Structure 1
Amino acid sequence: MTYCTPYLLELGLTKSKISLVWIAGPLSGLIMQPIVGVIADRSKSRWGRRRPFMLGGTVLVSMFLLLLGWTKEFVRFFLKEKEAVRQATIVVAVLSIYGIDFAINAVQGSCRGLIVDTLPISKQQLGSSWASRMVAVGSLVGYAAGAVDLGAIFGPMLGDTQFKQLTAVAAITLCVTVGLTSYAVTERVLVSDGKEDEGQIGAMEVLSTIAHNAMNLPRGIAAICHVQFWAWIGWFPFLFYSTTWVGEIYLRYDAPVDAKASEDITGQVGRIGSTALIAFSIITFLMSVILPWFVKSPEDEVPDFTPRPPASIASFVFEMEKYKPSLLTTWTASHCIFAGSMIMAPFVQSLRGATIIVALCGISWAISCWAPFTFLGVEINRLSQHNHRPYGHMTRNSIELESPVQLHLNHGPDESHGSTGASSGAYLGIMNLYTTLPQFVGTFISWAVFSLLEPGKSPELAKEAGPEELKQHAAEGPNAIAVCLFIGALSAAVAAFSTRKLKRLQSEG
């Protein structure tokens, strides 16, 4: 996210065309996560339901990452003519990005499914908050890697450019962390009741199941999905363009005159943008660690899950509980913080100002990585407790891979357990639809804004643009990416309103 946009700009693509390249993200999420979720829900592999997809997806992501980093070398192995090499390099780079996006969705969906599958209701918030912390740690390490000179650390061992070394570090890290998770997590295996062979899943059956569930969502899950839809119209331009925007603000207002003479503009913009996102990631990490201690869990608001502290400290604990905001209130506040930050983007005229508002968004991102999945996990497990089965014609049992367990993936009509998550892949996939569909909207908005305001090459990133041209460009109007961020702020305000509606729905329920 830090380097790809300036990398593609340096290859010669315009911002409007790059906005169409980034449609790979929502397109892959729209296709991959729901399908992988449904197939994994029904899988009876002895390796578990999620791990095969996590491992297979990781191998593909790593291959495409390395291909993205070494695109020019790969193309030059087959072609020699200069213009043909340039055109083919763009094509292979774009295809690599599509490959990464499609494969990573299988990994992401499976990782989220593990949390819902293996944790009881009382620990759904804890699991989601730990996932948010790990995302923050990974982001911090990743952006730090982008901000430092990796060549001075690794030498030529991982490549001769910053971008190559970043793709190599990302591939190695992904393999190590997913491998560790696959080794450490005890996953369950589905066993058939003998009435139907669940392993025979046709493509049309998968699609019809997804469509049926999407059109018949329980009210609580539907409300969560609606909040996600509006929130992600705002998050899309931030995640894909904020580092480029910070770099362009630097080149437009703060950079010395000789900065444009640099041979590695991609590296320069990437390092400046990564520095801003280091601040963003530090705030995200701190908030993901601190906030769960001061926010009331959803299950704490349900009588069946009232905490019972030791008598000696009960009065103090209950007194503190009175002042804890609910997770729903915290989620609403996060949308407001994001909207308030991004609405200032068109008016920023310094690197410091851009860095500050990007860092503030770390508060919102920590909550956005945690709150919706907590609510979804609780809703899924509550539905399971009430014997809600989206695949009503099936009955399943489960066995552990390595040891007996009290919790099962699904149960017969007379059983009652704390957590199941049998349909977690399906519901996570459907919520992912509401995360990816707004990205199509964001892509269209970005394409329209870039086409109107910057139809040619980015003046900030064009080597031939001099100080006078930059000054004239700054006087003509705001940065095009800043306008996209401003529009995202308006959408975040709608998400805040939708979250309040979710609260009213819960109070009615």
Structure 2
Amino acid sequence: MSSRLAEAGQYATLTAALAGLQFAWAVETGFGSPYLLSLGLRKSLVSLVWLAGPLSGLITQPLVGALSDRCASRFGRRRPYIVGSTVCTIACLAVIGWTREIAGGRESLTQWLAIAAFYLLDFAINALQGSLRALIVDALPAARQTAGTAWASRMLGIGSVCGYLMGFLDLGRLLPFLGSTQMQVLTTVASAMLGATVAVTCWFTAETPLARSSAGTGGHLQVFSSPLSLLHSLPRVIKGIFRVQLLAWMGWFPFLFYSTTYVANLFAASRSDGGSSGGSGVMEEGARVGSLAMFVHAVVSLVSSLALPAITYSAAAGRPQLRMRSAVDGSSVYSALRRMLHNILARASVSLQTMWAISLALFSVAMLLTTVVSTVDGASALLAACGVSWAVAVWIPFSMLGEAIRGAGAMRTQQQQQQRQQQHLHGIGDDAEYSRVPTDEIPLGTMGDGYAHGPEHDPHARDGHGELSAGTILGVHNVFCVIPQFFMAVVSSLVFASFEHAQDASAGGAAGHQAQQIALVMALGGLSSAAGAYFAWQL
């Protein structure tokens, strides 16, 4: 029992920073648009501000991943980037909360300062996310990647629930000492939560510093200079994960950006009885209804992240056995119930790939059903169901990547040891062997697991001296999640533009027309997700 508690404590402290990160991201995405509009920005400018997300994901994570892979700081490879991006995130949140005060009330300066702060915030959040994800891969062996990323999914769920819940409260009245406006209190609480959780992760998670001679002097931008050659040399399973993500995120983009608006428009249409959209008051009430639907979605996602790992197994950990020895040895009622529960879960368990495929299929069906659902309750139920798929989306792809990265490193280390043994058997002396593999390139252990990375002996993507680079590969993975966002942004614009004339011809049902348009975009994403489900099944 004590060992299980210790292991749970390691997972919790390793992933705690993701809860603070998700809270800050929820504040930005959930309350950023109303805040920017309150500063006097036009809707067209606000939409340009949100391009910062995919742009930062396209640039920041690959760059930070490649650089951190080669960081030779005595504090570790990831920790300097984690701390630096956290400081930048907190600074941006402070500027966003007190933009008017900093600008001295000048409207134009206030607007541009807010835009700059949101752009920098997106870049800082992406840098922090990439570093934290790479830290999980570094810290855990392949057999524990699934459990570690499952804990990461739970922390993300906690951050989302807390973020949406805080948005419902009248924080200016409850916490007046933290700010005079809702946004000021939100950014202050987000900064405090992010700082505290990052401190926990950095304090309790050990990193083995990379030897300076192993850090390399070139190749920091290899992911940009030769992306095609990098992708070609990656293991087949990693390329398969990238392909699934490319298809899946064509569905996730419209869901994340338009779900609240979809519910709000259905609410406005139901209140207008086929007349006008009901005015700004009805739309504001609809926005709160949409936020409530997303809160339920976040709760379902959190519950799913707690439940699904119990019926899912990974290739590295192996399929769970039908009988648990510790339970078999006991004769009490508790032992019998424990044995029965374990057997049920073992029989019902599925692989990571199967669970991913099922979740994408569920998400695809939900997105296609948006075209036939016309009530707020029905739409809210669809969004809630997607919470299951979202819990899997932030868990299984990272788990499979972590297993592939760490598993390849372990296999390579084992092969090198076998080669050394064979060379010794054939009379090759120690001096000759170590002259070929310098001592500063001998695999480095991570957190005492005995798990290591070896020197360059095969063509897979590595840092300067042979490591299968977690930061670089996770950065490239993020590119495959970002590219669909640009594509779907263009598709969404074309769909909305094609319906503009029809909407003008029937201005009285504007809210209903907008809900239909969003549903069509979501359905297109659902078709892409269905293809992703097929390829996930093939993995």
| Alignment TM-score > 0.5, same fold | yes
Whether contact under 8 Å (1:3, 1:270) holds in the other structure is: no
Whether contact under 8 Å (1:191, 1:396) holds in the other structure is: no
Give the drift of 1:3: 2.1
In structure 1, give the amino acid aligned to 2:526: A
Which segment drifts farther, 324-333 or 442-451? 442-451
| Partner of residue 463, structure 1 | none
| Partner of residue 82, structure 1 | none
Give the drift of 1:97: 2.2
Secondary structure, counterpart of 2:210 in structure 1: strand
Whether contact under 8 Å (1:117, 1:409) holds in the other structure is: no
Q: 1:424 to 1:434 in 2, by over 3 A?
A: same
1:14 to 30, 43, 47: 43
2:518 to 476, 481, 485: 481
Give the drift of 1:252: 3.2
Give the drift of 1:377: 1.0
| Partner of residue 469, structure 2 | 423
Q: How does 1:387-426 map to 2 (within 5 A)?
A: 387=412, 395=441, 397-398=443-444, 405-411=448-454, 423-426=469-472
| Partner of residue 176, structure 1 | 196
| Partner of residue 38, structure 1 | 66
Q: How far apart, in 1, do the equivalents of 2:310 and 2:400 lie?
A: 17
Secondary structure, counterpart of 2:374 in structure 1: coil
1:186 to 189, 203, 206: 206
| Partner of residue 146, structure 1 | 167
Whether contact under 8 Å (1:121, 1:377) holds in the other structure is: yes
1:439 to 465, 479, 485: 485
| Partner of residue 200, structure 1 | 217
| Partner of residue 266, structure 2 | 249
1:355 to 380, 391, 395: 380
| Partner of residue 49, structure 1 | 77
Q: 1:141 to 1:328 in 2, by over 3 A?
A: same
Q: 1:421 to 1:124 in 2, by over 3 A?
A: farther
Q: Higher relative CO (CA 8 A, sep ≥ 6), structure 1 or 2?
A: 1
Q: How far apart, in 2, do the equivalents of 1:430 and 1:112 lie?
A: 13
Q: 1:95 to 1:166 in 2, by over 3 A?
A: same
Q: How does 1:231-242 map to 2 (within 5 A)?
A: 231-242=248-259
Secondary structure, counterpart of 2:209 in structure 1: strand
After superposition, what is the alpha-carbon deviation per residue over 1:273-329, rounded to whole angstroms, capped at 9, x for unaligned?
A: 321121011111111101111122232448xx9898427639966775343222211
Q: 1:206 to 1:134 in 2, by over 3 A?
A: same
Q: How does 1:202-281 map to 2 (within 5 A)?
A: 204-205=221-222, 207-208=224-225, 212-254=229-271, 260=279, 262=281, 268=285, 271-281=288-298
After superposition, what is the alpha-carbon deviation per residue over 1:334-380, rounded to whole angstroms, capped at 9, x for unaligned?
A: 11111111222244433322221111110100111111111111111
Say whether 1:100 aligns with 2:135: no
Secondary structure, counterpart of 2:412 in structure 1: coil
Secondary structure, counterpart of 1:3 in structure 2: helix
Q: How far apart, in 2, do the equivalents of 1:136 and 1:146 lie?
A: 16
Give the drift of 1:25: 1.4
Q: 1:19 to 1:215 in 2, by over 3 A?
A: farther
Aligned CA-pair RMSD:
3.6
After superposition, what is the alpha-carbon deviation per residue over 1:99-138, rounded to whole angstroms, capped at 9, x for unaligned?
A: 1111111100111111111111111110011100111111
| Partner of residue 310, structure 1 | 325
| Partner of residue 500, structure 1 | 537
Give the drift of 1:66: 2.6
| Partner of residue 465, structure 1 | none
Q: How far apart, in 2, do the equivalents of 1:432 and 1:258 lie?
A: 38
After superposition, what is the alpha-carbon deviation per residue over 1:129-150, rounded to whole angstroms, capped at 9, x for unaligned?
A: 1100111111111111112222
After superposition, what is the alpha-carbon deviation per residue over 1:444-489, rounded to whole angstroms, capped at 9, x for unaligned?
A: 1222233333599x99xxxxxxxxx974324656443333222211
1:373 to 381, 398, 407: 398
| Partner of residue 22, structure 2 | none
Give the drift of 1:397: 3.9
Q: How far apart, in 1, do the equivalents of 2:344 and 2:519 lie?
A: 45
Q: How far apart, in 1, do the equivalents of 2:80 and 2:380 lie?
A: 40
Q: How far apart, in 2, do the equivalents of 1:408 and 1:325 lie?
A: 26
| Partner of residue 182, structure 2 | 162
Whether contact under 8 Å (2:153, 2:305) holds in the other structure is: yes
Q: How far apart, in 2, do the equivalents of 1:438 and 1:431 lie?
A: 12
Identity across matched positions, percent: 35
Give the count of matched residue pairs.
467
Whether contact under 8 Å (2:454, 2:467) holds in the other structure is: no
Whether contact under 8 Å (1:22, 1:443) holds in the other structure is: no
Secondary structure, counterpart of 1:343 in structure 2: helix
Whether contact under 8 Å (1:61, 1:104) holds in the other structure is: yes
| Partner of residue 114, structure 1 | 135
Q: How far apart, in 2, do the equivalents of 1:147 and 1:379 lie?
A: 41
After superposition, what is the alpha-carbon deviation per residue over 1:152-189, rounded to whole angstroms, capped at 9, x for unaligned?
A: 3212x333332333222222211111121111111111
Give the drift of 1:429: 1.1
Q: 1:477 to 1:61 in 2, by over 3 A?
A: closer
Whether contact under 8 Å (2:62, 2:471) holds in the other structure is: yes
Secondary structure, counterpart of 1:97 in structure 2: helix
Q: How far apart, in 1, do the equivalents of 2:496 and 2:120 lie?
A: 25
Say whether 1:282 aligns with 2:325: no
Whether contact under 8 Å (1:28, 1:105) holds in the other structure is: yes
Give the drift of 1:494: 1.4
Give the drift of 1:35: 1.2
Q: 1:287 to 1:63 in 2, by over 3 A?
A: same
